[in-house]
Chains A and B, each alone.
Chain A
Amino acid sequence: MLVEVLTRVVLVVGLLLPIALGLFVGRTRLTTTRTEWRSRIRVAAPAILVLSVVLLASRLIRWGGVDSDIGFHMTETIRQTEGEFVLLFLQVATPELTSYLTAIYIYGYTFLLVFPVIAYFALSDTTMFRRLLTAYAFNYAIGLVFYVLVIAYGPRNVFVEQLLTGSGSSPMIYEHSVEYRYLTREVNQNTNVFPSLHTSLSATVGIFAYLTRSSYPKWFPVAGVIAVSVIISTMYLGLHWGIDVLAGLVLAVLCVALSYQIVGRWSLSELYGQLLESKWF
């Protein structure tokens, strides 16, 4: 069943990407990319490396399971702080909205994360590309620290009657769909909801889309709509608390700021160039 969903994700994103590339990036940029890709990769190598290491570490640690003895159990604290806020979404729940948000949560989110990587790589100036990867790396790295420290279950584990018994217009009547099974599987593995990485990564992409609106004017509104939908879907589907989302937004701003601070501060290629020159000439 996991394979089924993953295949679907690959198919959907694989279908969307060429369309989006044609629409937002354009032929010219893609053509130059074909000739310049080697040098761009060389310049961006440190960022690529850092992100890969962070992703690998995060995967390993999360699969291995987080030791509950290190972290603090916070479910009750979060619930008492924000009360029944997420249940507000039940009042607007319709089957159509549930299908839309489930699809957004899985397919939209993946697309939102993958597309800018290619789009910014297609810019001759790699600064944005490197900033994006660095911001992703920060998101995962900081998120991981919180995953270890804060142990909390999402609203679907607390408001069981409202969110899970599947009566009336509850979003959970869609438990049957393949996508939904994928969600519950993910939730089963991951009892740590604070902060919402779906939110922080989507918001990160949204902020970058805003900052690069001169290069990609049409991408900004699209990214904005998808990012906001993903953020809403996390709460609508009962996966995250409002507080997780809030923390995710703060994390996004922080990561973008950090990426602006760090990228371009040290140029490895220049150092490398100097090294080469001193040796050979």
Chain B
Amino acid sequence: MDTQRSGSRRKVDGDSAGGISRRAALAGAAGVMASTSGCVREFRSTVNRDDLEPLSLTITTLPADGDRESILLAREIAATLEAVGIDVSIEMRSQEEFRRAVVINHDFDVYVGPHPGGLDPDFLYETLHSLYADEPGWQNPFGFTNLLVDDLLEAQRDADGEQRRDAVEATLEALAIEQPFVPICTPLEHRLVRDDRFDGWADGHLATRTGYLGLEPQTDDSADQLRAVHMDARPSQNLNPLNVEYRDRGTVIELLYDSLAADLVATDGDHSLEPWLADDWEWLDESTLRVSLRPDCTFHDGEALTADDVAFTYRFLEDTALGGSAAPAPAPRYRGRVAAVDDIDVQDETTLELTVGTGQDVGEQALTVPILPEHHWSERAAAATIPGVRIAQGTTDAVVTDNLPPVGSGPFQYHDHTEREHVTLERFDDHFTLRADVALPEPTVDELRVGIDPRSTSAMQLIEADSADVTSSPLESYVIDDVDETDAVGLLESPSWAFYHLGFNARSAPFGNPRFRQVVAQLIDKAWLVEDVFHGYARPIATPVADEWVPDALEWDGADPAMPFLGSNGEVDVDAARTAFEEAGFRYDADGNLRVRQ
């Protein structure tokens, strides 16, 4: 207790003028006032008080070479926060480092960046449930803990149909008040495609596996190779479905790995969950799901894919150490989906029974995780080791391996790669989609080459020069106006479920205070940012779910229905912002700095 007090006093002493005068008072007063004990108590009570400190925060974000929009958003937000008396600095991290800092190490104050989001709002369960506040991964990077929100998140998981819709609405409304993170906007994804080489671009969303399957080659040699150009080098460096630093939505992973069910998403965003690796599924009762696999499926290395591999996958994603670590080491992705499955009972080679702890809607979402070959991954349950270095508990080989070459069972198999140049996949001829009796989109090209080109402008050029067929990553918004559509080259617009957001680290003050987060949310002019940063090619949002799930009350109506901007045209009304902070219980000093207890 004593050491603690002297520690904090030292901090105050070092704090410029206030500290010095107090120290002087201490020296003088010691002699004068020590005579009476009452005075000593009063003296002690006077000097042993810590002052509020001016708020100084760091926005962690991505550099322009990795994600132009994030840094632009961060700069605008920083300028606004500076204007209302907060000291802001911006820290740029590369794609991998950004995710390592934010979602693994939780080493940030506030961050601005993209979130992979989800077509089903259940992604919010893993994103915000307090059970996951300490886990590394996309599960609750914010450290947000609120028992009432936990209840709502669980309720939407347990409900089905209309009831679930209501439960989701209740959850979203609670989140709009709590603002655990501020959803800013969801981009309109634009991609260039060569219409003269392939037809059928409109059938599948190019952020999912369906975009690359079922394409119809239009010329004699288009069937040889589908040439995608990707603006992010990470797929050429790492193809581990469990790795969180190198994955966004995992489009390439979806082509390499199958899941039991697949959300088939069309370019316009329409989607339906269809049996994929599973032949069919059937609910035996409220919580028992019987899944039968398609017969005679194999992995790319020729080994049979059986119900054991499926059971292994769910066990493994729940604990990548397979019980070998002091505490379970859950995978940093798919957390919420895997948690929906309580138990798996393997009936025979191709039949399993899943006991599901949630409603049926969410239970079926659990079928979308990639199925891993047990014979490759069981040995990766070992803790990662580097001689002489202490590794964080729960860091298994599985979450850090680059998994090259990957062995899955998907419609394409790995062929070769060169870091930062390309990763090339070839058609897996034994894939079930190629069977005559299966009516699912199939790989129609011999080879899929994902070339890496970091700039939208040069990616566009490659398409125009007929050196590539499709930009697999969305184009950056600043180039979209420059696109010349021709007969051969088309511009494809598709909705997104990923979104840009500002995340708070609720583990530290004042970001754990919802009143603080609410005021910050009102300092962000989302509609103006969409015009300024995204050139209009995005939609401002008040809630982070896909369009079909947005409740009427949170529909964007020209302004944020929950957290309206305090100002206009990107210009914050400083007086209004100050008043908002003061009404939320915060204080300003005479110089106009916001002071908080940190």
Q: Which residues of A contact B (CB under 8 A)?
A: 1-2, 68, 73, 75-76, 153, 156-158, 160-161, 164-166, 175-176, 181, 184-185, 187-189, 191
B64 touches A164 (CB 8 A): yes
B458 touches A181 (CB 8 A): yes
A2 touches B91 (CB 8 A): no
B91 touches A189 (CB 8 A): no
* Minimal beta-carbon separation of B390 from chain A (angstroms): 13
* Minimal beta-carbon separation of A199 from chain B (angstroms): 21
- Taking CB as reference atom, which chain A residue is nearest B460? A176
- Taking CB as reference atom, which chain A residue is nearest B69? A160
User: Among the listed B68, B91, B92, B93, which residue makes an inter-chain contact with A164, where contact means beta carbons less than 8 Å apart?
Assistant: B68
* Minimal beta-carbon separation of B244 from chain A (angstroms): 16
* Minimal beta-carbon separation of B323 from chain A (angstroms): 30
Stretch at the interface among B449-457, B492-500, B557-565: B449-457
* Minimal beta-carbon separation of B466 from chain A (angstroms): 15
A160 touches B75 (CB 8 A): yes
Chain B residues near A1: list those with CB within 8 A.
Answer: 453, 458
Chain A residues near B64: list those with CB within 8 A.
Answer: 156-158, 160, 164
B458 touches A73 (CB 8 A): no
Question: B212-237 vs A: 1/0 string, CB under 8 Å?
Answer: 00000000000000000000010000
A188 touches B478 (CB 8 A): no
A-B contact count (CB 8 A): 60
Residues of B in contact, count (CB < 8 Å): 24
Alpha-carbon gap, A135 to B233, bound state (A): 34
Alpha-carbon gap, A75 to B74, bound state (A): 15
Chain A residues near B457: list those with CB within 8 A.
Answer: 175-176
- Please classify the interface of chain A as helix (H, G, I), strand (E, B), loop, or mixed, using the class held by over half of its residues: helix
* Minimal beta-carbon separation of A65 from chain B (angstroms): 9
Interface residues of B in 38-95 (CB under 8 A from A): 63-65, 68, 71-72, 75, 89-94
A75 touches B92 (CB 8 A): yes
- Taking CB as reference atom, which chain A residue is nearest B75? A160
Alpha-carbon gap, A212 to B89, bound state (A): 47
* Minimal beta-carbon separation of A155 from chain B (angstroms): 10
Chain A residues near B531: list those with CB within 8 A.
Answer: none
B233 touches A68 (CB 8 A): no
Chain A residues near B453: list those with CB within 8 A.
Answer: 1, 181
User: Among the listed A160, A175, A176, A188, which residue makes an inter-chain contact with B72, where contact means beta carbons less than 8 Å apart?
Assistant: A160
Chain A residues near B92: list those with CB within 8 A.
Answer: 73, 75, 153, 157
Chain A residues near B94: list those with CB within 8 A.
Answer: 68, 191
Chain B residues near A161: list those with CB within 8 A.
Answer: 72
User: Among the listed B63, B68, B458, which residue makes an inter-chain contact with A153, where contact means beta carbons less than 8 Å apart?
Assistant: B63
Alpha-carbon gap, A184 to B91, bound state (A): 21
Known: A73-B91, A76-B89, A184-B455. A176 touches B71 (CB 8 A): no
Chain A residues near B420: list those with CB within 8 A.
Answer: 185, 188-189
- Taking CB as reference atom, which chain B residue is nearest A178? B458
16 A-B pairs whose Cβ atoms sit less than 8 Å apart in the complex: A68-B94, A73-B92, A76-B91, A153-B65, A153-B92, A156-B65, A158-B64, A164-B64, A176-B457, A176-B461, A181-B453, A184-B455, A188-B65, A188-B454, A191-B63, A191-B94
- Taking CB as reference atom, which chain A residue is nearest B451? A1
B97 in the interface, Cβ–Cβ < 8 Å? yes
A187 touches B72 (CB 8 A): no
- Taking CB as reference atom, which chain B residue is nearest A63? B419
A2 touches B63 (CB 8 A): no
B458 touches A160 (CB 8 A): no
* Minimal beta-carbon separation of A5 from chain B (angstroms): 12
